[in-house]
Structure 1
Amino acid sequence: MQSVKTSTLMKWLFGQLKPYKSKVAFAMAALVVSAGAWLFLGQGIKSAVDDGFIANNSDKLDQMVLVVMAIALIGSIATYFRFYWMIWLGERVSADIRQKVYAHLLTLSPAFFAKTRTGEVISRFTADTTLLQSVVGMGLSMALRSFVTFIGALILMLFSSTMLTLYVLIAVPIVLLPIRFFGARVRIFAKNSQDRVADVGAYVDETLHEIHTVQAYSHENIDMQSFSARIENVMSAAHQRIKYRALLVACIIAISVIAVTLVAWLGAQLVLTNELSAGELTAFMFYAVMAGGAVATISEVIGEVQKAAGASERLMELLNTQTSIQSPASPEALPNEVKGNISLQQVNFCYPESPEISVIKDVNLAIKSGERIALVGPSGAGKSTLFQLLLRFYDVTSGKVCLENQDIRNLAVENLRDQFALVPQESVIFAATVRDNISYGRPDASQADIDRAAKAARAYDFIMELPEGYDTNLGERGVRLSGGQKQRVAIARAILADRPILLLDEATSSLDAANEQHVKLALDELMKGKTTLIIAHRLATVVNADRIVVMDKGQIIATGSHQELLASNDLYREFAQLQLVS
């Protein structure tokens, strides 16, 4: 994605406030009252000096002190409401952006996640959205308050002394120069800094996910050194951002202080020549200091805004990423009862990230309703890729995949995938309860249905032995279960989903001999009347399949029954001799 103008990014960010116009209006009203109160304070000070202190009028002095206190109280109350609503808006906008980004990510195809590290995406959810929350909640509030204060102070300065105000205005263009020069660089380095933080998040996610492997190979010291190098990259990127932001603030403060000092000196000369009263000069300097403070605050906020621009750009990159897999504008409808007839016609496929490597080559395969098809072959033969094409995680490079004689690209993606139940080789268990994991594909299932699925998968007994039964939280990636238990929960999920087509990727690979036999019986019952494709690395699990499809290097090289392939195919015969002959 090309670099986007800061104004465009800020328009997008603050556009997120549109649904909360009433809240913004309340916050703005409180802001105006708050700023107005502090500005009016200068007039109270002027009156206290001229009419009370200089005029030696103690009653007037006492009266103005009470007025100043009342103004301060009003300003404080208004400040409370300003802070409350602006911080609430920051939290709300941050939450909305997270929801939008997450919802969009769920629509992206596996091709996106094949080239984007999960930890980096998580960083954009956490660090980037937290930064935006700070800018909208605090930065915007401070910037608007400072802007109103600056304009108000400038107007009141004009009433106090037009000549001194003109001198102050000469400094304004000078202040804008460092804002323009350093601000753009702060944004560039802020985005770079956020990218480095995302890299750290990705590395932490990866190493902690594979902590068993890290510790088994005593890789801790090497990982700590690698992590330290990444942290230093973060610091290096942050160093540039901090340097330019510090220069920005220092330049603005220096220009502001010098300008205010020179104006104060000029004002003192006017007082000495009786062209200006002491009270007017005091009020003028009060407003000048307020204006200078407002400019300094705005410069601070500009630094935050530039950081937020970098964060917004990274989030917009995610939101603008188009999925390569989309439903057609007018999808075709499947029959009311999908029987599970599948055909692959002259299918060729290359992964998007490696277009020069053909993973599937000229595959033709027709699968009838209720048929059990086993896919066998060496690793890298293309078996799992066929599953991904059937589920339309990727689109074929050429040829077509049909379900019920309809090209799956003409179907709504969700409708297509609703016809499949998948049991992957590495069972996926979510950090949720047993009940949630089993009912994942059918959230509205009754407890009786869940029980039946668990019993069919031979998972019911060990579930009942868990501390809280179905309500036991299984921990991240099912850490509380053994490999065989995870697989049985995954099989129970597929049984409960009750879909016409089953995709089994070596679904019994993690089971011991006793449990494998139980689950085989369960799967045999489950597969009745369903079209089933089984990826098998152990031939003993598929010798009774209706047809066995032998694949090698992305091609189908033989099809037939176990006995037919033993007689006709050398590769299959080699597998059989290695696995089935003791």
Structure 2
Amino acid sequence: MVEKKLAGISLLYYPALILIAAMIQGFFRYSWRININGFSRKAEADLRERVFSHLQKLPLSYFQHHKTGDLMSRLTIDIQAVRELLGFGSLASVDAMITIVFSLACMIAIDPWLTLWSMLAMPMITITVRFFGRHIFRWSHSVQEQLSDISAYVQENLAGMRVVQVYAQEDNQIAGFRKISSDCMRKNMWLATLWGIFWPLMRVVSGIAATIVLWLGGRQVLQGTMSLGEFVAFNGYLGMLTWPLMAIGYVVNQYQRGTAALSRIGEVLDAEPSPRYNGAAAGEFNLLAGRTIDFRDLTFSYGPGNGPALKNITLEIPAGTVCAIVGETGSGKSTLVNLLLRLYEPADKTIFIDGIDINRLPAPALTEAIGYVSQDIFLFSGTIRDNILFGMNTADMAAIEKASSMAQLLPAVQEFTGKFETIIGERGVRLSGGQKQRTALARAIIKNPPILVLDDAFSSVDAETEEKILTQLRQFMAGRTTLLISHRIATVRDADIIVYLRHGEIIERGRHQELLARRGAYYELYRRQQLVRQVENLDRLDGPL
């Protein structure tokens, strides 16, 4: 009876121990999974924020040489691959190490020599990982690059959908996408082939170890040097090594993908920020007061292989005056403005505001002092109000309406049901070209800047609307230094000084009447535009045939 009771107790005791051990194992695995996965998610968020913040400070030239879709892929797909490496990759590594240490300790306790024999196949793991790892990394990197190409192609196609449909290029775009997608599939198939060979080899290694144990351990059981229970336990511990072996393969996969992605992210982080963010501390300069702009022997080119876009520009724009710049397309007008804004870096001591080299000015002081409207308008997919207040902390509705009225935007806004809260869609798709320009102009006006730069800001509005805007702006520009760039003589004729650029050089400067009297390039441009206007008036009078 006593023996039966002891046997009954044993039947309850050992299963209970196994249950407790499983519960403890489950608790610790849950704990480290929560911590490791939580760490990987935080690291992902921090890395994504750091990359995005770094992108905000890169020079404009960087974005002219890198596709938007490629950068988006690095911010999403690549960072996700890094997160998987830090998350489940680290988790699998920790899990595998703990299991390997525990299993080997138990195997050595049962039979050290049998453990040594069973480990003879393990060096094959190192050889397999080293051989395949090199090729897997190369193809993983190539696949990541191909995914970036797909993202860039789709982004460009969707952004230019209107042009695609107008020119009936849908089939050609589909063919182009099919080619890129096929290349991606081909590279993925090569990568899958490598993994298709790698995983079975890992199983072969574990199978060799099991075969050795079955042969040598079975002999020891038959010879009586090992009990059947020890043999079963040894095989159980050896079986526990199967998952770590598989985990090694998984970790190698995550490591190769993660390091390939990390190298692409590193390329972004290694890019040098624009020098405009390396200026003096913002507190060293107050808001610029005098607003005198001075260009001194300024020469600039976009790269070593390119000729100078601007040559020996010397120009002083006194505070409170309006300086107009005219010239043919490609003469350097917008380049001059970009250098003033430090979107490109001018040479030291070539551009001054109030006698201060702009390369010494911190970016906030420079951007606060300048209100800028570019010829390439970009609006964000928020409300009209959000776009007008872009760059402003806050402003009351009266100020928004005043700026909109001055930009001749208010009548158009009042026609919308939502007024200033109207959602304008991606890149302002719900607005016409003229409405976009007037929104951008209101955005510059509401800043109330001491310096106003209008880079062909009226190209998308008709002559009548332009005249209304200029009438309102004349009062606003009074006392402000204004740089006015335009192709239309009617826009610049009232400027205090007019500069004519050709091939990056100033060939004429003076007031409107002075330049007409010289009968030079400015006069020829004026005469051509007068002829065009006369022809348009005649066509309007004649009416349709």
Residues in 2 aligned to 1:64 and 1:461: alpha-carbon distance in whole angstroms = 85
Q: Return 221-230 or 382-391, whichever deviates more.
A: 221-230
Residues in 1 aligned to 2:485 and 2:114: alpha-carbon distance in whole angstroms = 85
Answer yes or no: is 1:381 the counterpart of 2:346. no
Q: Return 201-210 or 516-525, whichever deviates more.
A: 516-525
Change (3 A) 1:309 1:492: same
Q: Is this contact kept in 1: 2:78–2:265, CA < 8 A?
A: yes
- Choose the corresponding residue for 2:421, options 465, 468, 471: 471
> C-alpha displacement at 1:470, in angstroms?
2.4
Aligned to 2:299: 348
Q: Is this contact kept in 1: 2:121–2:208, CA < 8 A?
A: no
Residues in 2 aligned to 1:420 and 1:569: alpha-carbon distance in whole angstroms = 34
Aligned to 1:199: 149
Answer yes or no: is 1:558 the counterpart of 2:508. yes
Answer yes or no: is 1:267 the counterpart of 2:245. no
Answer yes or no: is 1:92 the counterpart of 2:72. no
Counterpart AA for 2:298: V
Answer yes or no: is 1:306 the counterpart of 2:256. yes
Offset from partner CA, 1:500-559 (integer Å, 9 cap, x none): 111101212212344323322232222111111111011111111111110110001000
Answer yes or no: is 1:358 the counterpart of 2:314. no
- Choose the corresponding residue for 2:198, options 248, 261, 274: 248
- Choose the corresponding residue for 2:238, options 288, 292, 317: 288
Q: Is this contact kept in 2: 1:348–1:398, CA < 8 A?
A: no
Give the unaligned 5+ runs of structure 2: 535-545
Give the unaligned 5+ runs of structure 1: 1-50
Aligned to 1:182: 132
Q: Is this contact kept in 2: 1:271–1:277, CA < 8 A?
A: yes
Answer yes or no: is 1:115 the counterpart of 2:115. no
Q: Is this contact kept in 1: 2:321–2:482, CA < 8 A?
A: yes
Q: Is this contact kept in 2: 1:328–1:411, CA < 8 A?
A: no
Aligned to 1:515: 465
List aligned pairs for 1:222-241, cutoff 5 A. Answer: 222-241=172-191
| Corresponding residue SS for 1:502 | strand
Counterpart AA for 2:103: A
Q: Return 166-175 or 91-100, whichever deviates more.
A: 166-175
Q: Is this contact kept in 1: 2:70–2:152, CA < 8 A?
A: yes
> C-alpha displacement at 1:335, in angstroms?
5.2
Residues in 2 aligned to 1:467 and 1:297: alpha-carbon distance in whole angstroms = 59
Q: Is this contact kept in 2: 1:325–1:394, CA < 8 A?
A: no
Answer yes or no: is 1:548 the counterpart of 2:503. no
Counterpart AA for 1:367: I
| Corresponding residue SS for 2:454 | strand
> C-alpha displacement at 1:177, in angstroms?
0.8
Q: Return 251-260 or 369-378, whichever deviates more.
A: 251-260
Change (3 A) 1:329 1:415: closer
> C-alpha displacement at 1:397, in angstroms?
5.1
Change (3 A) 1:460 1:377: same
Aligned to 1:6: none
| Corresponding residue SS for 2:325 | strand
Change (3 A) 1:78 1:216: same
- Choose the corresponding residue for 1:128, options 57, 78, 93: 78
> C-alpha displacement at 1:420, in angstroms?
0.9
Change (3 A) 1:64 1:530: same
Q: Is this contact kept in 1: 2:348–2:357, CA < 8 A?
A: no
Residues in 2 aligned to 1:400 and 1:268: alpha-carbon distance in whole angstroms = 88
Q: Return 554-563 or 130-139, whichever deviates more.
A: 130-139
- Choose the corresponding residue for 2:393, options 431, 443, 461: 443
Aligned to 1:5: none
Change (3 A) 1:129 1:297: same
Residues in 1 aligned to 2:287 and 2:45: alpha-carbon distance in whole angstroms = 40
Answer yes or no: is 1:69 the counterpart of 2:24. no
Counterpart AA for 2:334: S
Q: Is this contact kept in 2: 1:558–1:569, CA < 8 A?
A: no
Answer yes or no: is 1:498 the counterpart of 2:448. yes
> C-alpha displacement at 1:84, in angstroms?
3.0
Aligned to 1:165: 115
Aligned to 2:402: 452
Q: Is this contact kept in 2: 1:328–1:412, CA < 8 A?
A: yes
> C-alpha displacement at 1:390, in angstroms?
0.3
Aligned to 2:540: none
Aligned to 2:527: 577
Residues in 2 aligned to 1:403 and 1:88: alpha-carbon distance in whole angstroms = 50
Percent of aligned positions that are identical:
32
Residues in 2 aligned to 1:148 and 1:270: alpha-carbon distance in whole angstroms = 29
Counterpart AA for 1:432: G
Q: Is this contact kept in 1: 2:61–2:344, CA < 8 A?
A: yes
Aligned to 2:289: 338
Residues in 1 aligned to 2:479 and 2:229: alpha-carbon distance in whole angstroms = 95
> C-alpha displacement at 1:347, in angstroms?
0.7
Aligned to 1:105: 55
- Choose the corresponding residue for 1:218, options 168, 190, 210: 168
Aligned to 1:535: 485
Q: Is this contact kept in 1: 2:276–2:342, CA < 8 A?
A: no
Q: Return 377-386 or 558-567, whichever deviates more.
A: 558-567
> C-alpha displacement at 1:399, in angstroms?
6.2
Answer yes or no: is 1:147 the counterpart of 2:70. no
Counterpart AA for 2:293: I
Counterpart AA for 2:450: P
Answer yes or no: is 1:483 the counterpart of 2:436. no
Q: CA RMSD in A?
A: 2.1
> C-alpha displacement at 1:336, in angstroms?
4.8
TM-score, with normalisation over the residues of structure 1? 0.86
Counterpart AA for 2:290: K
Residues in 1 aligned to 2:292 and 2:119: alpha-carbon distance in whole angstroms = 79
Aligned to 1:27: none
Q: Is this contact kept in 1: 2:326–2:487, CA < 8 A?
A: yes
| Corresponding residue SS for 1:363 | strand
Residues in 1 aligned to 2:172 and 2:220: alpha-carbon distance in whole angstroms = 71
Change (3 A) 1:61 1:276: farther
| Corresponding residue SS for 2:372 | strand
Aligned to 2:229: 279
Q: Is this contact kept in 1: 2:327–2:502, CA < 8 A?
A: yes
Offset from partner CA, 1:453-489 (integer Å, 9 cap, x none): 2222222333233333322222110111111111111
Structure 1 stretches of 4+ with a deviation exceeding 6 A read: none
Q: Return 137-146 or 96-105, whichever deviates more.
A: 137-146
| Corresponding residue SS for 2:389 | helix
TM-score, with normalisation over the residues of structure 2? 0.92
Q: Is this contact kept in 2: 1:327–1:409, CA < 8 A?
A: no
Aligned to 1:14: none
Change (3 A) 1:574 1:427: same
Answer yes or no: is 1:317 the counterpart of 2:228. no
> C-alpha displacement at 1:409, in angstroms?
1.3
Residues in 1 aligned to 2:263 and 2:314: alpha-carbon distance in whole angstroms = 45
Aligned to 2:350: 400
Change (3 A) 1:231 1:206: same
> C-alpha displacement at 1:331, in angstroms?
5.8
Change (3 A) 1:336 1:503: closer
| Corresponding residue SS for 1:171 | coil
> C-alpha displacement at 1:261, in angstroms?
2.2
Change (3 A) 1:288 1:526: same
Counterpart AA for 1:162: P
> C-alpha displacement at 1:338, in angstroms?
2.1
